[in-house]
């Protein structure tokens, strides 16, 4: 899957006679579209299996929309980002669903106020976070992204307030908490501790994959060694 966008971009360049710069634009667009699609499919499937699909989609959508403007901690590879998202976002949503019945109205108001103020503060101070995957090209670009990030937090706050005022129900409480969880997840990724936390998760994932590859290589070598030591009929050749 990691080579799929590049393969498609190269194919389109040959067929449409695109320049190298146009190919890079197409490649970036394909990566965003394909990896985001795979991520949402995996996240949705995991949320459905855990019985918390609506909360999972709300958490994921909040993170995705705010991340478009604010940036934040990224995995070393898009595939790694998909794995972490599929593992962590549905678990966060499940926690939201399980904890929602225990939230009284006063406590919900306090939590909503705290999350909103914290998000406004951190986004204004830290966003956008410049990363190799999403560079900030100029100071005007930075101000624009910061303003859009703050506006996104404000929009989420208005949605939460509207749900609480017009539709006070268990489903509204769940939605409010899911939106708050998405905000907290994303603003945490803007901070130094948040970036270190996701870097550690990424390293653990990479270490696990490398260990699995080494184990597979050992199994393959043992099988080859067994064939050499116990050749089949026909002069040591096994067919």
Comparing CA positions, the residue from 42, 46, 2, 9 lying closest to residue 28 is 9
Residues 50 and 142 in one domain: yes
Distance CA 58, CA 179 (A): 6
Domain count for the chain, please give it.
2
Q: Say which range, 6-15, 38-47, 74-83, has the weakest mean pLDDT.
A: 74-83
Per-residue confidence band for 140, with pLDDT thresholds at 50, 70 and 90: confident
Neighbours of 234 (CB within 10 A): 8
Q: Are residues 171 and 222 in the same domain?
A: no
Question: Which tokens hold the place of 138?
Answer: 């100029």
What confidence score (pLDDT) does residue 90 get? 95
The yes-or-no verdict on residue 232 having pLDDT over 80 is: no
| Least confident window among 49-58, 115-124, 169-178, 223-232 | 223-232
- Helical H segments across the chain, by residue range: 4-16, 20-49, 53-70, 78-99, 105-126, 139-166, 170-190, 192-229
Q: Look at residue 1 and tell me whether its pLDDT is greater than 60.
A: no
Domain residues for the domain of 213 are: 198-239
Q: What is the pLDDT of residues 143-163, one digit of tens each?
A: 888 999 999 999 999 999 999
Judgement on whether residues 97 and 128 belong to the same structural domain of the protein: yes
Q: Are residues 126 and 230 in the same domain?
A: no
- At 167 the pLDDT is 82
Residues 48, 82: one domain?
yes
- Reported as a pLDDT band with limits 50, 70 and 90, residue 231 is low
Task: Give CA–CA dist 232/221, Å, rounded.
Answer: 18
Report the predicted TM-score, pTM, of the whole model to 2 decimal places.
Answer: 0.74
What confidence score (pLDDT) does residue 216 get?
Answer: 47
In angstroms, how far is the first alpha carbon of the chain from the final one?
33
Same domain for 57 and 163, yes or no, is yes
Pair 186, 235 in one domain: no
Q: Do 73 and 90 sit in the same domain of this protein?
A: yes
pLDDT, tens only, 179-223? 999 999 999 988 888 778 777 877 776 565 545 545 544 555 555
Query: Do residues 153 and 224 both lie within one domain?
Result: no
Q: How many residues does the chain have?
A: 239
DSSP-derived 3-state class of residue 51? coil
Of 87, 81, 92, 102, which Cα lies nearest the Cα of 56? 92
For CA atoms 90, 184, 108, 165, give the dihedral sign. Answer: negative
So what's the pLDDT on residue 9?
78
Query: Is the separation of the CB atoms in 23 and 70 below 8 Å?
Result: no
Residues 141 and 231 in one domain: no
Q: Is 70 exposed, middle or buried (0-12, 13-18, 19+ CB in 10 A)?
A: buried
- Residue 228 scores a pLDDT above 70: no
Query: Is 129 found in the same domain as 112?
Result: yes
Q: What is the mean pLDDT of residues 28-54?
A: 87
Q: Does 70 or 222 have the greater pLDDT score?
A: 70
Domain boundary among 190, 207, 229: 190
Are 168 and 214 members of one domain? no
Q: Residue 19: which pLDDT band, with cuts at 50, 70 and 90?
A: confident
Q: What percent of the chain has pLDDT over 90?
A: 39
128 cis-preceded (ω within 30 degrees of 0): yes
């Amino acid at each position: 899957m990691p080579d799929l966008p590049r393969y498609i971009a190269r194919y389109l360049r040959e067929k449409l006679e695109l320049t190298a710069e146009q190919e890079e634009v197409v490649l970036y667009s394909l990566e965003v579209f394909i990896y985001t699609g795979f991520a949402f499919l995996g996240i949705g499937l995991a949320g459905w299996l855990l019985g918390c699909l609506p909360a999972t989609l709300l958490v994921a959508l909040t993170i995705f929309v705010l991340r478009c403007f604010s940036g934040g901690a990224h995995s070393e590879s898009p595939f790694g980002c998909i794995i972490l998202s599929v593992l962590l976002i549905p678990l966060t949503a499940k926690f939201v669903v399980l904890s929602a019945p225990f939230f009284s109205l006063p406590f919900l108001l306090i939590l909503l106020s705290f999350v909103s103020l914290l998000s406004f503060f951190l986004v204004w101070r830290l966003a956008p976070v410049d990363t190799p995957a999403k560079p900030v090209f100029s100071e005007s670009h930075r101000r624009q992204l910061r303003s859009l990030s703050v506006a996104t937090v404000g929009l989420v706050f208005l949605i939460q307030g509207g749900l609480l005022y017009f539709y006070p129900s268990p489903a509204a409480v769940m939605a409010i908490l899911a939106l708050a969880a998405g905000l907290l997840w994303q603003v945490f990724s803007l901070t130094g501790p948040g970036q270190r936390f996701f870097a550690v998760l990424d390293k653990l994932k990479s270490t696990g994959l490398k260990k699995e590859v080494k184990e597979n290589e050992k199994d393959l070598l043992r099988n080859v060694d067994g064939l050499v030591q116990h050749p089949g009929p026909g002069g040591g050749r096994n067919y």
